[in-house]
Amino acid sequence: MRRRTIKGLAVTATGALLIAGCSGGEGESATAADGRTALTVSVWNIEGTPEFNAEFDAYEEANPDIDIQPVDILADDYPEKVTAMLAGGDTTDVLTMKNVVDYARYASRGQLQDITELAESAPEGLEGLDAFDQDGKYFALPYRQDFWALYYNKGLFEELGLEVPAELTWEEYADLAKQITEEAAAAGITPAEGEKVYGTYHQIWRSLVHATAAAQTGGDQLSGEYEFFEPYYEWALDVQDAGATLDFATANSQQVTYRTMFTTEQAAMLPMGSWFIGALLQSKAAGESDVDWGIAKLPQASAGEDVTFGSPTAFAVNKNARSADAAADFVEWAAGPEGAKAVASVGATPALQSEEITEAFFALDGMPQDETSKAAFEPGEVALEMPVSEHTSDIDQILMEEHELIMTGSVPLEEGIAEMNRRVQDEVLSR
Amino acid sequence: MATATATPAGTRSKKPAGTYSNKRQVRRNTLIGWSFLLPNFLGFALLTLVPVVATFGIAFTEWDSYSTPEFLGLDNFERLLTDNNFRTALLNTLYYAAGHIPITLAVSLGLALLLNRKLRGVNFFRTAAFFPYITSIVAVAVVWNMLFNPSQGPVNQLLTGLGIDNPPGWTSSPQWAMPAVIITSVWRDMGYYMILFLAGLQTVPPELYEAAKMDGANAWQRFRNVTLPSLRPTTFFVLMMLTIGSFKVFDLIVVMTDGGPGRSTLVLSQLIYREGIVNGRFGYSSAISLVLFVLVLGVSILQYRRNQKLEA
Amino acid sequence: MMATLTGAPPGTAPAQLQKAGPPRGPSRRAGGLGRIVGYLLLVVVALAVMIPFAWMISSSLKNNNQVFTVPIKWIPEELKLSNYTEIWSRIPLLTYLRNSAFLAVTITFLQVLTGSFAAYGFTKVRFPGRDALFLAYIATIAVPWQAYMIPQYIMMRKAGLTNTHLALILLQAFSAFGVFLMRQYYQSVPDEIVEAARIDGLSEWAIYRRIMLPLSVPAIASLSLLTFVNTWNDYMGPFIYLTDNKLWTVQLGLRSFVGQY
């Protein structure tokens, strides 16, 4: 009797193996209906990320024998889906690397093709390429490089009779944020949404404090010693305690976005990544917002410095790609001047920088034309947002948790930093 | 007494369905039994049982989802013992379960009893109670976070109005985030389990109540001696699903607090997801799943035993 | 748990057979005061429950950058009804609705059918190994999907089933939940009814179809409702398995629509 049950299970299991067994590859041919070579590219949110279509259209125009077929994935859980796809042996030709940490993971598992040769012949001025160096080998080329700057609402500054400073230290920035908050309240300026005009808005991401501190002080976010965060936290907490930004707890629990705060004119300033330029141009073109905006350099620790941080976005070739040659050609093209032009044409910041591209960028409809904005577009030094190592994501998680506790006031600053040191050393580095 | 009517022990069949009368009978029954199970079992075994068993195998390896798994023996489990995140997540999960299970059980049973009457508009109320379950979870998180807002939220305004000087910080405080999550989850799940209870209540024959009434039983006695015993299969089912659901809680916590502030609401499923899908340590993540599985199994067996004892 | 006879004594069975379906509770009339208090309680609960839904409706009438604001604005300054027209032109909502409906209906149907079928085997037929098997069923519910998602995906991929609706149907139609629910319900049906039918010469399949199915209408209704809602609202399953936009469900479509801003 029991044997029967076991036999039943055995039969079923064999069946499962059989089904699994007769799978095999999915055929070699990757030709579209009209005889062109089909090239599949994984992307996120293709409608909301216009540089994808700009690049694909330009590439297809230059290569009439290629038919690019985007594989659209929702942005929120993009890395998880790509992980699942690759685990199953997916054959999508080109994979977009949303961040460097995931890239390092796919590369170390051997899921990406070695394109070191392409990296060696990459054009001069390709920013962010170093981030993809894996012990001398390269498995992806960046096509886009974002960096952080300070956005400001020109209209609000004018209304209050304030000048937009071209350069600020963090201390000056904090004072300015407080000043704007007070003066806007005194002048009775109220935004269409929300309660009042804040001097600035701090997105809840830890990078605003941590990555800035690391970039501007030379501190290492993987070190397990985080005293260098301290002055940056002091500025951030100072602004928050003075009510010059929406408090962290509320912003976090109500899922407030920087986009809402800035486009509904609730915040006069906003430290944010350059990807926001494209979004601002888009929402202005769609008639959703008429904010008069500009950018300035990110505030610095002391006057005269010019360091910001950012992260590159890259294309890689899948190890299981069906059209590997075409895929490699596309990756190389996207990192080159033609690709950069396509990226810049929709207000995104290409990895390849040149005067020509900057000019084309500022010629876009809706771009600010002042000198401060143009200067901010060419930052002196762009540090990598978060260094890559096998510990990156674990440390990132710990820093995020402790950041939350410090910013919600659950833990005093010094205790929070001590806890960061302790946890990173005990739970990650000493393992 | 009403008890006698509820469990008519005397009428219990001496020869329940399909006893082992002889070998042929057993074989026949086995065939018939399997013919009923097979359509579901095939799908279940292939698509759930096999991957689950595979996952438990992976728990003893190091696996990145792509390369060949490397056998580690018990290393993953040893690591669990010293992992701070695991301990925190385990305690938080137990905390959540201890709050969520009894309250949801009481509230959903209460709702079901309330809505099993011939009230005017009862269908509207039933639908309303089920609404939280079908409302988008993002909306649930945003609105409850607004209600729980420490300074301007209605919850704390009410508490201050009642004379409480120092109302809790709810989702922005490490001490109060879990109670806030539990309250929200009870609110969200009550309609779901109410539906299950309603189906069960409809199996209670009205004749039993009539008989109990004639015996002079009051409302509470009728509930104790008629409703509860008749509902036992349903209650057992609800309790099991609630237990399993509480130990596996994921979605609501992810959208409401994402484990924060700090790690104050980090739960096991979240850790499993984070270690596996996000960090690519599938062996370790499977080991956590195995522990969670054993934990739930233990609790379930306790409940199962208790249920059998009550039924005997 | 074999011969569970909880609840109904045999004498009530015929009555149940005839009247199965409509809600039947204690037929006592609540007293005047109790009734008012009950109503008040219900109205309060009903209102409390509607708040997030009100937020959803209010958000649907706003510009995207006005949705998450502090404090929440319940009545938008200007009603943006165009969201409702726009969503039809921006994304193929009709296709998504059709896909969701197809999946939800198919999965619900299969779940109820195979689940109640198996539940009959688990309650009314006695054979060796039955209880161990049942325990295996319940036990798998205890494993979170996040844990075996990848092995399951790899299997599906090897079988060439990823990016098909079939994958989701296979994944969700045979869940242990339905079997468990139906089994618990069948337990409250007295074995005497089944035994009597056997003596009358009915085959097991006829007993299932002509006696158990009609008896279990309330349970089937609950199971259908819960399965339908769960399938309709499922996000992660379709997200991982469906790549082709033509196959997307409403949940995926709505998220992509939100992401477009």
Nearest residue of chain C to residue B127 (CA atoms):
C46
Q: What are phi and psi of C9, to 5 degrees?
A: -75, 155
Q: What are phi and psi of C139, to 5 degrees?
A: -60, -40
Q: What radius of gyration, in Å, describes the C-alpha atoms of chain A?
A: 24
Supply B220's token pair: 């509470």
Supply C34's token pair: 């109790």
Report the residue of C58, C256, C257 to disrupt the A interface, i.e. the one with the largest count of A CBs within 10 Å. C256
pLDDT at A53 over 90: yes
Q: What is the pLDDT of residues A4-39, one digit of tens each?
A: 443 443 334 334 433 333 333 343 445 656 778 899
Are C52 and B144 a contacting pair at CB < 8 A? yes
- Per-residue pLDDT, C4: 32
Supply A249's token pair: 């707890």
Query: CA-CA distances (angstroms) from residue A228 to A149, A216, A223, A238?
Result: 21, 10, 11, 17
Are A283 and C240 a contacting pair at CB < 8 A? no
Does any CB of chain A come closer than 8 Å to the CB of residue B220? no
Widest CA span in chain A: 90
Q: How many CB atoms lie within 10 A of CB A92?
A: 22
Are A111 and B66 a contacting pair at CB < 8 A? yes
Supply B254's token pair: 């992810």
Are A410 and B262 a contacting pair at CB < 8 A? yes
- Per-residue pLDDT, A234: 95
Q: What is the pLDDT of residues B215-249, one digit of tens each?
A: 888 888 888 888 888 888 899 989 999 999 999 99
pLDDT-derived band at A54 (thresholds 50, 70, 90) equals very high
**A339, containing H or E segment:** helix A337-344
Q: What is the pLDDT of residues C223-247, one digit of tens each?
A: 999 999 999 888 889 998 998 888 9
- Per-residue pLDDT, C87: 66
pLDDT-derived band at A152 (thresholds 50, 70, 90) equals very high
Report the C-alpha gap between B230 and B310 in whole angstroms. Answer: 12
Supply C173's token pair: 């139609």
* Residue numbers in B near A111 (CB within 8 A): 66
- Per-residue pLDDT, A30: 56
Mean of per-residue pLDDT scores for chain A: 88
Nearest residue of chain C to residue B202 (CA atoms):
C24
Are A47 and C260 a contacting pair at CB < 8 A? yes
Are C159 and A76 a contacting pair at CB < 8 A? no
**Residue C140: how many CA atoms within 13 Å on its side-chain side?**
26
Supply A199's token pair: 């001097």
SS3 A197: coil
pLDDT-derived band at A157 (thresholds 50, 70, 90) equals very high
Does any CB of chain A come closer than 8 Å to the CB of residue B280? yes
* Residue numbers in A near B30 (CB within 8 A): 1, 4
Q: How many CB atoms lie within 10 A of CB B296?
A: 24
Q: What are phi and psi of A134, to 5 degrees?
A: -115, 90
Report the C-alpha gap between C60 and C82 in whole angstroms. Answer: 10
Chains touching B (3+ CB pairs < 8 Å): A, C
* Chain C residues 211-230 with CB within 8 Å of chain B: 218-219, 221-222, 225-226, 229
Share of chain C above pLDDT 70, in %: 74
Q: Which residues contact C157 (CB under 8 A, 6 or more apart)?
A: A23, A88, A89, A90
* Residue numbers in B near A410 (CB within 8 A): 172-174, 261-262
Judge whether A138 and A114 are in contact, CB under 8 Å.
yes
SS3 A323: coil
What is the distance in angstroms between the Cα of C71 and the nearest Cα belonging to chain A?
A: 6
* Chain B residues 76-105 with CB within 8 Å of chain C: none
Nearest residue of chain C to residue A255 (CA atoms):
C68
Are C4 and B233 a contacting pair at CB < 8 A? yes
Q: How many CB atoms lie within 10 A of CB B70?
A: 10
Q: Which residues contact C251 (CB under 8 A, 6 or more apart)?
A: C100, C232, C233, C234, C235, C238
Length of chain A: 431
**A357, containing H or E segment:** helix A355-362
- More reliable by pLDDT, A77 or B10: A77
Report the C-alpha gap between B108 and B198 in whole angstroms. Answer: 10
Mean pLDDT of C203-222: 90
Strand A37-44 relative to strand A94-97, pairing: parallel
Nearest residue of chain B to residue A83 (CA atoms):
B277
Q: What is the pLDDT of residues A86-101, one digit of tens each?
A: 998 899 999 999 989 8
Q: What is the pLDDT of residues C5-56, one digit of tens each?
A: 333 333 333 333 333 333 444 444 446 777 788 778 778 778 777 777 777 7
* Chain C residues 152-191 with CB within 8 Å of chain B: 152, 155-156, 170-171, 173-181, 184-185, 187-189, 191
Q: What is the pLDDT of residues B107-135, one digit of tens each?
A: 999 989 988 877 777 888 888 888 888 88
- Per-residue pLDDT, B149: 84
DSSP state of C20: -
pLDDT at C79 over 70: no
Supply B82's token pair: 């010293």
- More reliable by pLDDT, A9 or C118: C118
Does any CB of chain A come closer than 8 Å to the CB of residue B69? no
Report the residue of A260, A280, A283, A320 to disrupt the C interface, i.e. the one with the largest count of C CBs within 10 Å. A260
Nearest residue of chain C to residue B209 (CA atoms):
C26
Q: Which residues contact A99 (CB under 8 A, 6 or more apart)?
A: A79, A311, A313
Does any CB of chain C come closer than 8 Å to the CB of residue B214? no
**Residue C177: how many CA atoms within 13 Å on its side-chain side?**
24
What is the distance in angstroms between the Cα of B159 and the nearest Cα belonging to chain A?
A: 19
Supply A277's token pair: 């330029």
Are A12 and B148 a contacting pair at CB < 8 A? no
Question: pTM score, two decimals?
Answer: 0.85
Q: What is the pLDDT of residues A57-71, one digit of tens each?
A: 999 999 999 999 999
Spell out where A184-324 has E strands: 198-200, 267-273, 293-296, 307-317
Does any CB of chain A come closer than 8 Å to the CB of residue C128? yes
What is the DSSP annotation of B10-68? GG--SS-SS---SHHHHHHHHHHHHHHHHHHHHHHIIIIIHHHHHHHHHTTEE--SSSP
Sign of CA dihedral B230, B234, B240, B243: negative
Residue spans of alpha helices (H) in chain C: 13-19, 32-60, 82-90, 93-124, 130-141, 145-158, 165-173, 176-187, 191-199, 204-207, 213-215, 217-233, 236-241, 250-259
Of B67, B150, B259, the CB nearest to A249: B150
pLDDT-derived band at A49 (thresholds 50, 70, 90) equals confident
| A286: region left, alpha or beta (phi > 0 left; psi from -120 to 50 alpha) | alpha
What is the distance in angstroms between the Cα of A87 and the nearest Cα belonging to chain B?
A: 5
Report the first-to-last Cα separation within chain A, whole angstroms.
50
Report the C-alpha gap between A18 and A22 in whole angstroms. Answer: 6
- Per-residue pLDDT, B312: 65
Report the C-alpha gap between A279 and A273 in whole angstroms. Answer: 11
Nearest residue of chain C to residue B56 (CA atoms):
C148
Residue C57 pairs with which residues in a beta bridge? none
* Residue numbers in A near B278 (CB within 8 A): 79-80, 393
Work out the angle at residue B212's Cα, subtended by the Cα atoms of residues B211 and B214, and round it to the nearest 5 degrees. 65
Closest CA to B210 of B198, B195, B222: B222
Report the residue of B84, B92, B170, B172 to disrupt the A interface, i.e. the one with the largest count of A CBs within 10 Å. B172
SS3 A417: helix
Report the first-to-last Cα separation within chain B, whole angstroms.
19
pLDDT-derived band at A353 (thresholds 50, 70, 90) equals confident
Task: Please state which of the ranges A384-388, A423-427, B301-305, C80-84 shows the lowest mean pLDDT.
Answer: C80-84
pLDDT-derived band at A336 (thresholds 50, 70, 90) equals very high
- More reliable by pLDDT, C260 or B306: B306
Report the C-alpha gap between A230 and B62 in whole angstroms. Answer: 38
Supply B213's token pair: 């009434």
- Per-residue pLDDT, C243: 87
- Per-residue pLDDT, C76: 66
For tokens 């990156």, name the residue: A392
What is the distance in angstroms between the Cα of A266 and the nearest Cα belonging to chain B?
A: 19
Are C70 and A251 a contacting pair at CB < 8 A? yes
The CA-based dihedral angle spanning residues C59, C64, C68, C69, taken in that order and rounded to the nearest 10 degrees = -100
* Residue numbers in C near B211 (CB within 8 A): none
**B261 preceded by a cis bond (ω within 30 of 0):** yes
**Relative orientation angle of helices B23-44 and A2-21, to the nearest 10 degrees:** 30
Of A8, A13, A401, the CB nearest to B262: A401
Are C191 and B16 a contacting pair at CB < 8 A? yes
Closest CA to A397 of A242, A266, A238, A210: A210
A299-323 residues labelled b (16+ CB within 10 A) or e (exposed): bbbeeeeebbbbbbbbbbbbbbbbb
Low-confidence ranges of chain B (pLDDT < 50): 1-18
C207-230 residues labelled b (16+ CB within 10 A) or e (exposed): bbeebbbebbebbbbbbbbbbbbb
DSSP state of A318: B
Q: How many CB pairs under 8 A join A and B?
A: 91
